[in-house]
C-alpha cells in the first residue's frame, strides 16, 4: 500500500474498513468486549465484512450470541467465532488463551473490554476490578498469545526477497484507551494496583474511581508503547483514544 487514506473524527467505521479492505482481507482478528452497541461490536461488525476470521469475546454467552447473530444478519458470509472470556478472572484468561492457541494464526489483538466505573470492588483474584479488567487481564492475555502473534508475522510472508520483506505484515496489539489519561499529572502505579489504600471501609473511602480509570488508561498507553518496543520490529502496540 503506497499511502494511507486520510480519515477524520467524522469518518465512520464502515468507511475506514472499506478503504482498508485489501489490508484486512486474510487476517484473523480478536476483539475483546463486543456487546452490541459498543465500540468493540462496531469494530467486529465492520471488520467481519473483509477479514478471514473475527473472534469476538465476552463473559456473557447470551450477549456473545446476540452479537454474532447481528453481525451475520448484516454479513451472512462473515466468519465469526465466539470465545467466553472474563478479563476479571485470571483462570478464565488462561482457559481462553489455551483455546485460542489452536488458531491458524492471529494477526490483530484489540483490547476493548472495560469494567464499569463504579464503587470499589475486588475480583476473585483480589485485584481492583478496573485494573484487572482494563489492564492486568489484557496484559496476561497478550503475554499468553504473544508467540501466536509473532509466529503469524513469520508465516504471513515466506519469501526472502527485499520486496516481500518490505511488505511483511507486522502483527498489532491495540488498546482502546481514553483521553482521560491526560487528566492526571503523572502515572501513579499505586492507583492502578490500589496499593497503600487500606482494605475494607478504609480502602473504599479512599477509592477514587475516576482517578483509577485515568491511571489505568495511562497504563494502557504505556503498555502499547512497550509492546511495540519489545517487538523489535516484529510487532506493534497501539494505544487508541476513546472513540477512535
- Give yes or no: 207 in active site: yes
Helix, strand, or coil (residue 173): strand
Dihedral of alpha carbons 238, 169, 233, 102, sign: positive
Which one of the listed residues 139, 169, 187, 207 is annotated catalytic? 207
Q: Using DSSP bridges, classify how beta strands 53-58 and 28-32 pair: parallel, antiparallel or unpaired.
A: parallel
Give CA–CA dist 145/74, Å, rounded: 30
Instruction: List, in order, residues 6 or more apart from 213 with CB less than 8 Å away.
Output: 117, 130, 134, 178, 180
Cα dist from 167 to 2, 59, 118, 146, whole Å: 10, 37, 45, 21
For residue 133 the three cell numbers come to 479488567
Could you give the residue numbers annotated as active site? 207
Amino acid at each position: 500500500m503506497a499511502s494511507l487514506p486520510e480519515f477524520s473524527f467524522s469518518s465512520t467505521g464502515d468507511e475506514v474498513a472499506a478503504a482498508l479492505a485489501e489490508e484486512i482481507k486474510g487476517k484473523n482478528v480478536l476483539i475483546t468486549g463486543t456487546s452490541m452497541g459498543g465500540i468493540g461490536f462496531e469494530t467486529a461488525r465492520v471488520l467481519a465484512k473483509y477479514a478471514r476470521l473475527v473472534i469476538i469475546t465476552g463473559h456473557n454467552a447470551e450477549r456473545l450470541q446476540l452479537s454474532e447473530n447481528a453481525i451475520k444478519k448484516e454479513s451472512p458470509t462473515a466468519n465469526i467465532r465466539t470465545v467466553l472470556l472474563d478479563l476479571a478472572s485470571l483462570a478464565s484468561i488462561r482457559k481462553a488463551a489455551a483455546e485460542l492457541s489452536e488458531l491458524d494464526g492471529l494477526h490483530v489483538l484489540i483490547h476493548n473490554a472495560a469494567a464499569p466505573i463504579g464503587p470499589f470492588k475486588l475480583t476473585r483474584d483480589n485485584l481492583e476490578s478496573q485494573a484487572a479488567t482494563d489492564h492486568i487481564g489484557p496484559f496476561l492475555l497478550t503475554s499468553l498469545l504473544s508467540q501466536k502473534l509473532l509466529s503469524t508475522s513469520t508465516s504471513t510472508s515466506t519469501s526472502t526477497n527485499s520486496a516481500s520483506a518490505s511488505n511483511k505484515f507486522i502483527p498489532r496489539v491495540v488498546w482502546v484507551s481514553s483521553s482521560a489519561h491526560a487528566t492526571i499529572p503523572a502515572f501513579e502505579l499505586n492507583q492502578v494496583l490500589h496499593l497503600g489504600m487500606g482494605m475494607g471501609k478504609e480502602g473504599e473511602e479512599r477509592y477514587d474511581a475516576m482517578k483509577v480509570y485515568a491511571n489505568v488508561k495511562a497504563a494502557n498507553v504505556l503498555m502499547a508503547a512497550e509492546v511495540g518496543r519489545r517487538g523489535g520490529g516484529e510487532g506493534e502496540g497501539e494505544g487508541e483514544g476513546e472513540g477512535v
